[in-house]
Structure 1
Amino acid sequence: MNVLRDQTMALNVELQQRQTEQEKLLAQRDDVSSQLQEVNRANSRLLEQLTELGQEKDKLQQELEETRKTADKRKAMLDELAIDVAQEKSRHKKELSDAWLQHEKEVLGVRARYEKELRGLHEDKNRTEEEIRSQLRDEKARTRELESLQQTVEELQAQIQSMEGTKGWFERRLKEAEETAEKSALEHQEQLPHQNP
């Protein structure tokens, strides 16, 4: 009788130990699940950042293209203006040559006026060229910014790949914990019929 009681007590102690182990395994499984959820949330945040950077990159590229179009238009206008100035200057020289003897004084006044206009046109031309150079400098700065954003995108992609590896590791740990818990539960169920008699 005492032997049976001792065996029963021993089985109860072992059962309690198995239950404690099972609770620990379940707690570990919950911890791993929580960590996996945190990894998934971090991965989602990184994907959102990557999407935002991609949109910013597209926006900058569009602005750069618009700036280039504007520069091309201004260059075309500048070329056309230079041709007009050259033609106007040629025509005025011919008129001055033809009227020199009869209208010397008037021609001098006209020449002074046109030279002033030409200086203004050259000043406008110089200002326009400076504006175009400034825009080109801005375009280069934006290009460098795009290159920096590209590097940031590559770094984020590397982080995502690293997080994917960590996610796989946590998933394997969770699977192992679940298998261990199931194994422990099966062993516990197998031992219960031996304890009932």
Structure 2
Amino acid sequence: MVRLGCFMRLWLHPSILRKALRSFVENLRLRILEASKNEKGKLSLRQVGGGWLAQDSDDLTSQDIQFKVVSEKAPQESELHDAEFAWLCVKHVKSNAIVIAKNNCMLGMGSGQPNCLESLRIALKKAGDEVKGAALASDAFFPFAWNDTVEEACESGVSVIAEPGGSIRDGDAVDCCNKYGVSLLFTNVRNSRH
């Protein structure tokens, strides 16, 4: 227990470092909060105008996901690792999210756009020439393929795409990836964060 001023007492968990305690004592506007990690399967709550939105918590890790190869070309081990890393990143990005990653590094991301094509273009611009051989992950399926997001991604030089699948036009995305020799992975899990 630490006494702050003449009327305030603070109970600290033993794991809180002394340096943090000193900072806290010096600035009484700071607050230390301790929160435990959500258990898997719990509902996630988000405040919306006039109420609350309850939805399943997005608590799956890359190890929980089955990356199903749906293209003719299967990814190499390093490409699969890049796809898993990109998938882990894309779940933390807002809607219509696209992440491009390689070698445990996010090269570019685009999000919050009216469509995934615009998000892709932002991610490609950020990734620059490093996009060649990189993995792309999308938080949602691609409703169109030809002359759209999948085609532009394939033309940019990505080697593998991971997406939930589930569109009535999934076959177009598969055909497009086969045309360019790009691996396409379906996860059957949507990571949309709004």
Q: Same fold (TM over 0.5)?
A: no
* Structure with the bigger percentage of strand: 2
* Structure with the bigger percentage of helix: 1
| Structure ID, larger Rg | 1
Q: How high is the TM-score relative to the length of structure 2?
A: 0.16
Q: How high is the TM-score relative to the length of structure 1?
A: 0.16
Between 1 and 2, higher relative CO (CA 8 Å, sep ≥ 6) is seen in 1
